[in-house]
Each structure stands twice: as structure tokens, then as C-alpha cells.
Structure 1
């Protein structure tokens, strides 16, 4: 049985590297701008939301 006397230290998921918006995609560029503004305002929820959208946005090869 594992030793449960010490707390587990989890990393901050917002410390992950931000995805890079595709410069040829207007949607990604707009999301990158929204993310930058949200970060400037300290709105890390919106920063995270923009990162998810950028990662999930489809691009054709």
C-alpha cells in the first residue's frame, strides 16, 4: 500500500507552453489576440479557453 503521509505536489496546468496560432488562419490569429488581451488583464480563465480553442482548431494540411 502506498505511503499517504505526504501531500502530492501537482503542477500548474497554466504553466504549460501556449500553442502557437497558425499565422495563415484568421480564427487562430483572432484567438491569439484575445489570449494576449486576457493575459494582460489577468483573466487566466480566458487565456486557458483560448489555448484550448487554438489547440482544437482544425487546419487542412
Structure 2
């Protein structure tokens, strides 16, 4: 006898993202501020804030350092 399915289909396999963390542009005060916040978050074990800093830095880099 078949077991009842409790899901609509096969499981989804997501790729493991190993993107390198963004690098601040030397001499940019905004990059430096985000990088310092990132370093504090990493030192305190705050992975959520660290990822938030990465997102903010990527957005800043794409908007202001193209």
C-alpha cells in the first residue's frame, strides 16, 4: 500500500551560493562605515546583521561605484 503524500511534488533542490563577500572601495567613507558595521557584526556572531551589511554594500557598490 502506498503512503499518502503530504507534499505537492518532488522536493526542490536549491543551489548552494558561495558568493564572495563584497569588498569596500578604498577611500569611500560610506563603504568604510558599512565595512566597520560588518566587522562588528561578525565579531559579535550576528550573522543576520552581517548579511544585511553585505546587501547594503552590494547595493551601494552597484549604485555609486559603477
Both proteins in one fold, TM over 0.5:
yes
- Structure 1 gaps, min length 5: none
Measured in 2, the distance between the counterparts of 1:19 and 1:38 equals 15
- Runs of 4+ aligned structure 1 residues displaced above 3 Å come to 6-10
Tell me if 1:22 matches 2:25.
Answer: yes
Q: What is the TM-score of this pair, normalised by structure 2? A: 0.66
The alignment status of 1:59 with 2:64, answered yes or no, reads yes
For the pair 1:38 / 2:41, whether they are aligned, the reply is yes
- C-alpha RMSD of matched pairs (Å): 2.4
TM-score by length of structure 1 reads 0.71
Rg larger in structure: 2
Unmatched runs of 5 consecutive residues or more in structure 2: 1-9
